[in-house]
Structure 1
């Protein structure tokens, strides 16, 4: 686990469910955007944003583990959604994996489409691991 710090910058409102700033020292890990595909490449949760988001976070968890990291090491999450209306479902799945008392920094962006029309969230992660 890395040694992370979450300073609150003066003059910036605290984030709701995310940190404005996260710093740390260690090995940098970048996880490509994950979508709701299972180990066989099959789409999980067609028409169900929460099921898709849970698969996305399960995939992120597996990718982090492959790099010797956990969600405790994540410093930044980037959310790409086809409809900002699904953000509550994405946040529910996120909160099942992330320490909400010490959340990573994050960005959420609505996009026109992902690479398959049935996909609704994609999430990428950046972590810092103290080896």
Structure 2
């Protein structure tokens, strides 16, 4: 997390229900809005058809590449929004995120995340999509 971002769970707020904070305070800087990342490989094909774990890994790999492309990383994320196509994937999402986030973030405080279950994504083969708001570095 950069000096210009602070993840906060305000006193008196209920406990967060996962690996996220209730809010991010952005002290300064330009914001970047990253479109939802999908399980798309470098060749444009869908990665991991029917395999939630493989798609999760590809989505976060793609997000990492997009962030690097603008000189940022996960420590600059202000907020995530996650879309799943089935509520049955929530336990897998929580398990995979619990394993991955400590490797991506410098602290054990993580960006806020809104998790939504939707009917479908742009292609039926996609099982999840993750978008982000990011603070640009100075």
Structure 1 length as normaliser, TM-score?
0.90
| Partner Cα separation in structure 1 for residue 51 and residue 131 of structure 2 | 20
Post-superposition offset of 1:47: 1.0
* 1:90 alignment partner, SS class: helix
Deviations 1:40-84 (A, max 9, x none): 110111111010011000000000011111001111110011012
Aligned residue number for residue 31 of structure 1: 34
Q: Is the counterpart of residue 63 in structure 1 residue 70 in structure 2?
A: no
Residue 78 of structure 1, aligned match among 78, 81, 86: 81
Q: Is the counterpart of residue 46 in structure 1 residue 49 in structure 2?
A: yes
Aligned residue number for residue 117 of structure 2: 110
Bigger mean CA offset, 45-54 vs 21-30:
21-30
Tell me the C-alpha RMSD between the 2 structures: 1.7
Contact kept, 8 Å, 1:57 with 1:93, in 2: the verdict is no
Post-superposition offset of 1:8: 2.2
Post-superposition offset of 1:93: 4.1
Aligned residue number for residue 90 of structure 1: 93
Gaps of 5+ in 2: none
| Partner Cα separation in structure 1 for residue 70 and residue 87 of structure 2 | 30
Q: 1:93 to 1:117 in 2, by over 3 A?
A: same
* 2:23 alignment partner, SS class: coil
Post-superposition offset of 1:12: 1.5
Deviations 1:91-117 (A, max 9, x none): 344341443711000100010011111
Structure 2 length as normaliser, TM-score?
0.86
| Partner Cα separation in structure 2 for residue 82 and residue 70 of structure 1 | 26
How many residue pairs get matched?
Answer: 131
Gaps of 5+ in 1: none
